[in-house]
């Protein structure tokens, strides 16, 4: 009998559904028991989001400042396989997910254990995953698989539809003609096919070959333009804005209101103006960088951690 633990935090229920569908093949097997553990912040983030709160969560997301969470209510902390399902906030694991990774309980649960990361995101996740890889290594876990479910809408369209989803809680078609918001129902439903692969490779003790099989089954798709944009934006833009806001105070501090509001005005402008410019530059220079682009796609599709990280 093998014990699998699925840890997740989801606001809308989207990631909960993904995690549960993913784990179905394990649940349906008599050889596995599956325990689900939802991360619960002491003061949860409201959903649907209100404008100010959405932008006020930016510095703590980027600077990885944890919120207070309740310990996971588990009978035992000894599992054979850990599935860490998380969504991304501002190119970082969501604050509650990160708070768990920084907890004492995570040290006990992850130490010496194989870990699968399962993401439910819009489309920018590689920077967050690099950070999560580092945390898992620090916790003594062994990352053996990564699966990323994402919004398949074109980048600009996706920004509009996810804003509609996050600020209203609705996943229908914005204005009747935009594509449906978030990750498609079809992708969510078929997450079990990745669970099947994980189960097969886990059963046969072929952990080092699991990620290759997952990549072949399209469990991860790296968009090189988005990957280079987010790496640049996180380092050059996000970290600077975050420390600018944090100088005025921590989460919810009214002293930082003005700076959060300036950021809230800058953010959509940056997305609408800078992102397309970056895209044009990417297209111009891509033919000269094919080798390094291919290398980057292979790296971000995998589970290894670069030694200089």
Ligand X SMILES: Cc1cc2nc3c(=O)[nH]c(=O)nc-3n(C[C@H](O)[C@H](O)[C@H](O)COP(=O)(O)O)c2cc1C
Nearer to ligand X, 12 or 229 (CB): 12
Q: Cα 148–154–155 angle (5° rounding)?
A: 80
- Give me the least distance between CB of 91 and ligand X, in Å please: 4
Rule CB under 6 A: choose which of 7, 12, 259, 293 binds ligand X. Answer: 12
Nearer to ligand X, 61 or 211 (CB): 61
Q: Should residue 242 be labelled a site residue for ligand X when binding is judged by CB under 6 A?
A: no
- Give me the least distance between CB of 248 and ligand X, in Å please: 19
Question: What is the C-alpha separation between 91 and 206, in angstroms, rounded?
Answer: 31
Question: What is the C-alpha separation between 78 and 1, in angstroms, rounded?
Answer: 13
| DSSP state at residue 288 | G
**Concatenated DSSP letters for 203-252?**
HTT-GGGHHHHHHHTTS----HHHHHHHHHHIIIIIHHHHHHHHTT-STT
Rule CB under 6 A: choose which of 19, 23, 101, 124 binds ligand X. Answer: 124
75 burial type by CB count under 10 A (0-12 exposed, 13-18 middle, 19+ buried): exposed
Question: What is the C-alpha separation between 164 and 169, in angstroms, rounded?
Answer: 8
Site for ligand X in 55-94 (CB under 6 A): 57, 87-91
Nearer to ligand X, 161 or 211 (CB): 161
Q: Should residue 263 be labelled a site residue for ligand X when binding is judged by CB under 6 A?
A: no
Rule CB under 6 A: choose which of 5, 6, 7, 15 binds ligand X. Answer: 15
Rule CB under 6 A: choose which of 22, 32, 110, 125 binds ligand X. Answer: 125
Query: 15 Cβ partners below 8 Å, 6+ apart?
Result: 8, 9, 85, 86, 87, 120
Nearer to ligand X, 17 or 77 (CB): 17
Q: Should residue 120 be labelled a site residue for ligand X when binding is judged by CB under 6 A?
A: yes
Rule CB under 6 A: choose which of 160, 166, 237, 262 binds ligand X. Answer: 166
Q: Should residue 271 be labelled a site residue for ligand X when binding is judged by CB under 6 A?
A: no
Rule CB under 6 A: choose which of 6, 11, 229, 245 binds ligand X. Answer: 11
Nearer to ligand X, 87 or 228 (CB): 87
Nearer to ligand X, 23 or 121 (CB): 121
Q: Should residue 300 be labelled a site residue for ligand X when binding is judged by CB under 6 A?
A: no
Kindly tell me the number of DSSP H helices and DSSP E strands found in the chain. 15, 9
Closest alpha carbon to 106 in 127, 128, 92, 86: 86
Nearer to ligand X, 87 or 242 (CB): 87
Rule CB under 6 A: choose which of 20, 113, 122, 133 binds ligand X. Answer: 122
**Concatenated DSSP letters for 119-156?**
EEESS--HHHHHHHHHHHHHTT-EEEEEEEEE--S-HH
Nearer to ligand X, 106 or 148 (CB): 148
CA 10, 76, 144, 309 torsion: positive or negative?
positive
Q: Should residue 121 be labelled a site residue for ligand X when binding is judged by CB under 6 A?
A: yes
Q: Should residue 251 be labelled a site residue for ligand X when binding is judged by CB under 6 A?
A: no
Q: Should residue 238 be labelled a site residue for ligand X when binding is judged by CB under 6 A?
A: no
50 burial type by CB count under 10 A (0-12 exposed, 13-18 middle, 19+ buried): exposed
Q: Which residues bind ligand X (CB under 6 A)?
A: 10-12, 14-15, 54, 57, 87-91, 120-125, 162, 166
């Amino acid at each position: 009998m093998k014990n699998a633990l699925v840890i997740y935090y989801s606001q809308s229920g989207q990631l909960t559904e993904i995690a549960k569908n993913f784990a179905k093949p394990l649940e349906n097997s008599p050889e596995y028991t599956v325990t689900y553990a939802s991360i619960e912040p002491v003061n949860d983030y409201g959903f649907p989001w209100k404008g100010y709160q959405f932008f006020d969560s930016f510095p703590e997301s980027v600077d990885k400042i944890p919120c207070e969470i309740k310990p996971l209510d588990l009978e035992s902390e000894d599992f054979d396989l850990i599935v860490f399902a998380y969504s991304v906030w501002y190119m970082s694991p969501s604050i509650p997910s990160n708070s768990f990774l920084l907890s004492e309980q995570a040290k006990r649960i992850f130490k010496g254990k194989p870990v699968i990361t399962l993401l439910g995101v819009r489309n920018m996740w590689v920077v967050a995953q690099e950070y999560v890889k580092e945390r898992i290594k620090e916790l003594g876990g062994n990352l053996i698989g990564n699966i990323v479910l994402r919004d398949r809408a074109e980048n600009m369209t996706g920004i509009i539809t996810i804003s509609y989803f996050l600020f209203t809680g609705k996943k229908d078609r914005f204005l009747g003609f935009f594509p449906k918001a978030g990750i498609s129902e079809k992708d969510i439903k078929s997450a079990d096919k990745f669970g099947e692969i994980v189960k097969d490779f886990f059963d046969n003790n072929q952990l080092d070959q699991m990620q290759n099989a997952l990549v072949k089954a399209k469990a991860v798709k790296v968009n090189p333009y988005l990957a280079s944009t987010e790496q640049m934006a996180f380092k050059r833009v996000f970290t600077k804005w975050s420390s600018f806001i944090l100088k005025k105070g921590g989460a919810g501090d009214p002293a930082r209101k003005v700076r959060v509001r300036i950021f809230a005005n800058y953010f959509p402008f940056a997305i609408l103006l800078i992102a397309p410019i970056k895209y044009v530059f990417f297209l111009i220079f891509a033919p000269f960088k094919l080798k390094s682009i291919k290398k980057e796609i292979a790296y971000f599709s995998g589970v290894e951690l670069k030694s200089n990280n």
